[in-house]
Amino acid sequence: MVMQEADQLDAVFSALSDPTRRAILSRLTAGDASVNELRAPFTMSQPAISKHLKVLERAGLIERRVARQQRPARLNAAPMAQAVRWLDDFKQFWAPSFDQFDTLLEDLKRDKTTREADNE
């Protein structure tokens, strides 16, 4: 069943809201991994990691396949593209603020250099 676009976006942001799930996704950028491999850096049980994987799978951010006794997870970053596009729509609101901040930092650096030169 294909999720509606808004539901998909909600699921992606919900999945990304947890630091453990973000760490799992980061690990999967290096390649497929089993539940035990994904659990290794955490101090949590295998069932707890499996719950995180189910959330990521429901959001479409990972795919799992059966390979013998294991179900390795694989990153599927495509749903993140929708989230990036949604966030990009807000760029017009925050980009000018960053530009102003850059200008302020340059002014402060210039003032500091001028003061240091005056003190020498």
- Per-residue pLDDT tens for 8-49? 899 999 999 999 999 999 999 999 999 999 999 999 999 999
Q: Are 33 and 56 members of one domain?
A: yes
Q: Are 101 and 71 members of one domain?
A: no
pLDDT at 69: 67
- Amino acid type, 46: Q
40 backbone dihedrals φ, ψ, rounded to 5°? -45, -45
Range of the domain at 100: 90-120
As for how many domains the chain has, the answer is: 2
In a domain, 53, yes or no: yes
Looking at residue 3, what DSSP letter applies?
Answer: P
Please tell me which residue, 70 or 102, carries the higher pLDDT value: 102
Neighbours of 48 (CB within 10 A): 13
Q: Are 27 and 67 members of one domain?
A: yes
Residue 1 has pLDDT above 50, yes or no: no
Q: Are 74 and 95 members of one domain?
A: no
Query: Which of 47, 45, 55 has the alpha carbon at shortest distance from 21?
Result: 55
At a CB cut-off of 8 Å and minimum separation 6, what does 56 contact?
Answer: 15, 21, 24, 25, 62, 73
